[in-house]
Amino acid sequence: MAQAKGFIFYPEHVAVARRLLNDAEIGQLFLAVCDYAETGAIPDFQANTLVACFDLMRKAIDNNAQKYAETCARNRKNIEKRWKRQASTDEYDGIQSNTTVYGDVPPNTTYTNITEHNITEPNIKSCSVRAKRFTPPTIEEVRAYCAERGNCVDAQRFVDFYTANGWKVGKNSMKDWKAAVRTWERSDSQQKGGKSGVTDPYSGYSTI
């Protein structure tokens, strides 16, 4: 049995001893309780009051020692179970069957050939694709792209227009400025062709 490294003098027990014993007997009781807690020795008291006080304190010491031993045993079993589980666990253990919820997966675990999600790379981290953050183009970039396409879109006017509205397409933030240039390009072509019912891409734009 695991042995506690100390014991408790409960105030109510001390109060009983002070009520029943004199100072000399309290000193004898104190030494006897210390000896019992350390070695288990039971004193041979002649006075019934000393015997009664000792028995009261002994029961408390025994109860606390039993609780301490049970706690130690329970902790020891939990540690043994944990070590056995870790010793017999591979990187896929701890994943519940028929579910997408993962639990108790060892850290730094990599997965291969997870066909459910069409993942074939050796490390699952490589499968996370983050959306590229939109960066407004410069006038030079727009002008170069317009020259590449051979259109007549005014790069300065294009950049000024979308800078003024916070680079929005309708109510949504712009994701591809080149696509917006192509829209302006088609709109310009339609207007030059004399088609009706075409929305002016510059509508709502005022030169500052």
Tens digit of pLDDT for each residue in 2-57?
A: 566 777 889 989 999 999 899 998 998 999 999 888 888 999 988 889 899 999 89
Give me the number of domains the chain comprises: 2
Tens digit of pLDDT for each residue in 170-190?
A: 899 999 999 999 999 998 888
What gap in Å lies between CA 111 and CA 115, rounded to an integer? 11
Residues 177, 136: contact at Cβ < 8 Å? yes
Mean pLDDT of 146-165: 95
Residues 92, 102: contact at Cβ < 8 Å? no
What gap in Å lies between CA 134 and CA 156, rounded to an integer? 19
> Band of the pLDDT at 127, cuts 50, 70, 90?
very low
Residue of 108 and 132 predicted with greater confidence: 132
Is residue 204 over pLDDT 70? no
Q: What is the pLDDT of residue 189?
A: 82
Report in angstroms the alpha-carbon separations of 92 from 66, 100, 105: 41, 13, 7
Kindly report which listed range (33-47, 81-95, 159-173) carries the lowest average pLDDT score.
81-95
Q: What is the pLDDT of residue 196?
A: 45
Tokens of 35: 């000896």
Is residue 109 over pLDDT 70? no
Where among 80, 98, 128 does a domain terminate? 80
Residues contacting 44, CB < 8 A, separation 6+: none
Q: What is the pLDDT of residue 37?
A: 87
Residue 6 forms part of a structural domain: no
Is residue 73 over pLDDT 60? yes
Which of 69, 44, 54 is closest to 21 using CA atoms?
54
Residue 188 forms part of a structural domain: yes
Residue 203 forms part of a structural domain: no
Q: How far is CA 18 from the centre of its chain?
A: 55
Residue 72 forms part of a structural domain: yes
Residue 128 forms part of a structural domain: no
Q: Which domain holds residue 148?
A: 139-192
Residue of 3 and 118 predicted with greater confidence: 3
> Band of the pLDDT at 84, cuts 50, 70, 90?
confident
Helix or strand run (H / E) with residue 16: helix 11-20
Mean pLDDT of 185-203: 65
Residues 191, 202: contact at Cβ < 8 Å? no
What gap in Å lies between CA 157 and CA 176, rounded to an integer? 17
Where among 36, 55, 80 does a domain terminate? 80
Q: What is the pLDDT of residue 205?
A: 46
